[in-house]
Amino acid sequence: MALSSKTLTAAAEFANIAALQDKRAKKDAAKLKAFKIDFVTACVFVATEYDTYLATYSTKSGLSKPNARKAWLLTAMGLNKEPTADFISDMRAIGNHPEIAARIAEEKEISGVQYFRQCVNKAKPAANVETETPEAETEANAETETAIDPAARLAKDAANFFDYGIKHGFDFATLRAMLDAAAVAAGEGNAAAATA
């Protein structure tokens, strides 16, 4: 999937704002106004093409898989580097909900990618409720709170763990082993608590 020049420009504008200090929200919102819709397209690209890099990934590159993914996505968007640590992650979260993101882009003043992601995250429960029937609403909300929210939080925490570890010189295999060891320890702790 090739991105249009408008989409590439939108990604670059959002990247420029992300790289700056976040003290000029109104000015940033005015500057980004013309790029919001095309930025949603860039976010959808990130979400749908998130694992495409695997087709050409090689350990000979010297890059870890997370860094290879970022490099591939940034190159596809015409960006030299990730302006903030969570830029790609924020774009993916926005791109996973294109209808909500497009609506927010039309309705709100957007001052940056992190704020955009927050708006999408806040709008997600409301979007889920609108599609439910009134009888099923309470049941669906209860299931969502117990099943989806903890998993989403755990996935985010794991992603943050890997990002932090990679930034501090750990390789993917070591981080994976650490995570597996923590899971085993947590399982043993639960078993011990159950027998006590």
User: What is the tens place of the pLDDT at every residue in 14-37?
Assistant: 888 777 745 567 788 888 898 999
pLDDT of residue 193: 41
Joined together, the tokens standing for residue 48 give 């749908």
Rg (C-alpha) for the chain, rounded Å, is 19
Q: How many helices (H) and strands (E) does the chain have?
A: 10, 0
For the chain, the straight-line distance linking the first and the last C-alpha, in angstroms and rounded, comes to 56
The answer to whether residues 73 and 90 touch, using CB atoms and an 8 Å cutoff, is no
Q: Nearest CA to 91 among 56, 42, 129?
A: 42
Torsion sign over Cα 130, 131, 134, 140: negative
**Per-residue pLDDT tens digits for 50-65:** 888 888 888 888 888 8
Model pLDDT, residue 189 = 45
Domain ranges of the chain: 5-131
Higher pLDDT, 50 or 181: 50
At 104-148, the pLDDT tens digits run 999 999 988 999 999 999 988 655 544 444 444 444 444 444 444
Please report which confidence band the pLDDT of residue 41 belongs to, taking 50, 70 and 90 as the band edges: very high
57: helix, coil or strand? coil
